[in-house]
Amino acid sequence: MQGGAIEMATQATQLLRHNPPPDAIITTDMVNLPAWLGLMRHALPSSTPILHYMHENQLTYPLRPGEKPDLTYAMINWLSQLAADHVAFNSHYHATAWFAEVPRLLKHFPDYNHLAQLRDVQAKSSVLPVGIACGLIHGREIPAPVLPEPFVQQVGESESLRKGDPSEPPLILWNQRWEYDKNPKAFFHCLYALQKRAIPFRLVVAGENFRQVPREFEEARLRLANELIHWGYVKSYADYVAYLQRADLVISTAIHEFFGISILEAIAAGAFPLLPNRLSYPELIPPELHPACLYADEEELVTLSMQRLQMPRPAPPSLRQHVLATYDWPIVAAQYDESIEQLVAHKCEPRSSNQ
């Protein structure tokens, strides 16, 4: 977020030497937009409209254990929103959480905090969800993935992925990042409780970690060895889709989620979701399905997991249809097109702070 604007400006300047200026520009929350615009002032027409997309933010993102807040990055988010012509958030929850917290950020300044501009940014903001490749996930049969030989040797005979075979226990899926904000401790504690109650299940733990793997994963790999089907990053997209399609239950215990791509992918493939009744999750699930899909605490998660495992069923057809009709890329892309076209249509109008 500090140095990326320099490289992006260098590449964009090179492109503009041999190409006409773009009709519009889309930036994300990881770009320092004011810095990028400053570096581009001689190469980019000032009338070029900019849509700034907030997939995450650095103000309400939960801190790692022992980490102290650094408001520098939150200010980059805020300044970028001020510099953009339009701001799009990936969920209503994200937008609400951000605008509720920004006043606290600005009140750190003794004067000239420009709190009034919060209304201006809200007025030029909207929600544009992330698209899901439902067409590649929904209703497509893909052969069972080939497991790495060392892992097959470790897990033994439990690597079978025979979807629909009543002799096989239901399959639980974890397909999120291996990070503290996804709260793996609560997820594995739920599985240990199922083990203790002798509730049979199989388990796929997919995903990866780019820093230090939380210790809960190493403990779980040993304690859940008899249930494991797969452990770690799935290198083939076809194999990943195959796991989605074979999953009976997808569980999230996250303490942070601005959207929920992996959960929607699993639902599109037919997995029944059990999700916290908070964050962005209530927004993803139709209200009439909240009692079945959302839980209040870890005790209720264990109870609902037992019910779903003892009486396994796929995601309700109405839920799958909701995901397809709301988050499939052809649907979402049309919303992006409309927003960008509106920006382009107004590019010749003079800019104002509340445009």
Residue with tokens 């109405």: 318
Which pLDDT band, with edges at 50, 70 and 90, does 160 fall under?
A: very low
Residue type, 21: P
Q: What are the φ/ψ torsions at residue 33 (nearest 5 degrees)?
A: -65, -45
**pLDDT the model gives residue 355:** 39
Instruction: Look at residues 234, 239, 173 and name the one whose alpha carbon lies nearest to residue 201.
Output: 173
Burial of 7 per CB tally in 10 Å (0-12, 13-18, 19+): exposed
Quick one: average pLDDT of 80-87? 98
- The predicted-structure confidence for 250-276, as pLDDT tens digits, reads as follows 999 999 999 999 999 999 999 999 999
- Could you tell me the CA-to-CA distances from 345 to 30, 337, 339, 348 in Å, in that order? 26, 12, 10, 8
The pairing of strands 50-54 and 86-89 is: parallel
Strands 171-175 and 294-295, how do they pair? unpaired
- The superfamily (CATH) of domain 134-327 is Glycogen Phosphorylase B; (3.40.50.2000)
The pTM score is 0.88
Whether 161 shows a pLDDT value over 80: the answer reads no
Q: Give the H/E segment covering residue 50.
A: strand 50-54
The encoded tokens of residue 131 equal 């698209």
Bridge partners of 322? none
**Residue type present at position 93:** Y
Q: Where are the domains of the chain?
A: 4-131+331-345, 134-327
Smallest CA-to-CA distance from 172 within 185, 157, 161 is with: 161
pLDDT for 148 equals: 39
List, in sequence order, the alpha helices (H) in 85-137.
92-106, 117-123, 134-137
- From the number of C-beta atoms within 10 Å of its C-beta (0-12, 13-18, 19+), residue 79 rates as middle
Nearest CA to 55 out of 128, 132, 133, 134 is that of 128
